[in-house]
Amino acid sequence: CIVGSAPKKRSGGDGLDRWEFFEALVRIARLKFLDTGVESNTHESFKRLFQHHLRHAFYIDPDDFRKEHLYTAECESVLSVHLHNLRTIFNHYCSISSSAFGRIMKLEEFHTMIEESRLVDRGKISHDQ
């Protein structure tokens, strides 16, 4: 393994585990840039691979999604009908904590809301994320 001590046991399934995926990227970087002499070490090779070939594939502007799907007249018309109930629910589950954006619901509060509303079966939500 190029990137250090990887777990010996696979998590199962047909896909790559995280460490396998990362190792594959490091191997590609080495083949493309280190072995050809373009870069002098693995770090610079991986950096070049990411900056010139991968970065654009991983960057998604969250505002693009919001503008396309949330900040629309259709979405506004649905939510405005239920605004009073949505605020009541939010106020019930959200603590007093706030941020620069105003009051925010903590992850554990969100989990409680989802479980108590029975949107997801109890036990299906991981509380340690």
**Residues counted in the chain:** 129
- CA pair distance 107, 109, nearest whole angstrom: 5
Structural tokens at position 117? 């509303």
- Which stretches of the chain are DSSP H helices? 18-29, 42-49, 55-58, 62-65, 73-81, 83-93, 107-116
Tokens of residue 12, six digits: 């199962």
Tell me: pLDDT of 105 over 90.
no
pLDDT, tens only, 2-55: 445 555 555 556 778 889 999 999 999 999 999 999 999 999 999 999 999 888
**Tens-place pLDDT, residues 78-97:** 999 999 999 999 999 988 76
- Residue 63 DSSP code: H
What's the whole-model pTM score? 0.46
